Amino acid sequence: MIAPGALAKVGLSKLPQTKRRMKSRELHVLALNSGSSSLKFGLYRVGPSQTQILISGEAGSIGSQNGKFEVGDSRNKTLHSERVPIPTQTDAIIRIGKMLADRKMPPPDAVGHRIVHGGPKLLRHCLIDDAVLGELEAAAVFAPLHIPPALAVIRYATEHFPGLVQVACFDTSFHAGLPPAARILPLPKDLQREGIRRYGFHGLSCESIMRQLAGDLPGRLVIAHLGNGVSITAVKAGQSIDTSMGLTPTGGVIMGTRTGDLDPGVLIYLLLQKKLDAAMLEELVNRRSGLFGISGVDGDMRRLHAAAASSADARLAIQMFCYSVRKQIAAMAAVLEGVDMLVFTGGIGENDAEVRATICSGLSWMGVNLDATRNLDVRNPINELASHCAVRVVPSQEDEEIARHTWALLPHSAP
């Protein structure tokens, strides 16, 4: 564990304040993307016309003795990789800061944070102050896997990067304009007024897909973000009009350890008959279910593929995952009244040709027909030429979106 105050020893506690660079329209932004047990990071040079990655990496398996710290350059060439215990998110921040100093990277002028859920009052990306921190603390009940570690990262970054602007970038912002039929949950109005509604997530990922498609952005787009967390989003004329996740990131399709949508009667049964309390239910639906619960093997799709030859439960978990995603894509097609393009993104969506093929094998009725070779090689488009619906694999670039939004919120960026 790296001792508190270690940043001061490597000179990062004396980073120049943003005001010193206020006249410059090109600034360096440190993007921090915190998960429940990981912290991805990227240092970007951001200006009015371009965003350039300088260095990036990830601190993984935080809290375990088998932690991993990886760093790559702008061309994804590995610069450093080691297995090392990383006890907490704060230790990860210190390690990142020391790495930036050791490699003589430009000091950041601002820090941008991915925030999964801002609750009912924080629906737009914003500068972080005490009022915002208070709202985030209240929003932790909506995303218990994600908000507490994100808050820890914000507080530690604020303490050890003094003078730097901190910006919150919300996954829910992209879906803030959902139409009432998609946004409102079938509950009494007093609960609706308290902010119980569909929020939607993976918004930064969706924004990055739309930016990369640019001139090729179709009128009717379905984005399938498939990773440990999974969401399917319908985008019409550039606007999110429906998405699979709801009040929390637990809803929607089957995920690595999360249930996805579940008959509420199941929870009532568990409360009344099994005497589970709220903490036990939260543990069950977020950490012990999904692919992990079905297979009894693992929640990681790669390990399920490896186990599938000898485990019927692992095969069933993969089958149910693909079935669940396929159903939700079809639902979004109905909402859009047709689909012009289907995009796969996220760790599974970008890297698992077998899962993409299985999902699409049941969608030929809506014009989705994959080219087996192009799908395996990930050569876009991966659909057959005769397919009525284009299918593409597009990398999720959440960290770059964080850097862009952070730059845009700084006072210097005004024309």
What tokens does 155 get?
């507080």
Ramachandran angles phi, psi of 283, nearest 5°: -60, -40
Helical H segments across 20-114, by residue range: 89-102
What tokens does 122 get?
């924080």
DSSP string, 105-148: PPPPSEEEEEES--TTT--S-EE--HHHHHHHHHHGGG-TTTHH
Interatomic CA distance for residues 182 and 333, integer angstroms: 14
Q: Is residue 116 within 8 Å of residue 28, measured between CB atoms?
A: no
Interatomic CA distance for residues 97 and 338, integer angstroms: 48
Q: What angle do CA 57, 59, 64 make, to 5 degrees?
A: 160
What tokens does 412 get?
């210097």
Query: Residue 281, SS3?
Result: helix
Name the CA dihedral angle for 321, 326, 329, 330, rounded to a multiple of 10 degrees: -150
- Burial (CB < 10 A; 0-12, 13-18, 19+), residue 165, is buried
Interatomic CA distance for residues 83 and 71, integer angstroms: 12
Interatomic CA distance for residues 382 and 390, integer angstroms: 8
Set 91, 109, 171, 399: catalytic member: 171
User: Which H helix or E strand runs over 210?
Assistant: helix 203-213
Interatomic CA distance for residues 211 and 205, integer angstroms: 10
Query: Residue 287, SS3?
Result: helix
What tokens does 137 get?
């603390």
Tokens 């601190």 correspond to 59
Q: Is residue 301 within 8 Å of residue 356, measured between CB atoms?
A: no
Active-site residue 171, yes or no? yes
Q: What angle do CA 255, 256, 261 make, to 5 degrees?
A: 25
Q: How far separated are the first and last CA of the chain, in Å rounded? A: 44
Residues designated catalytic: 171
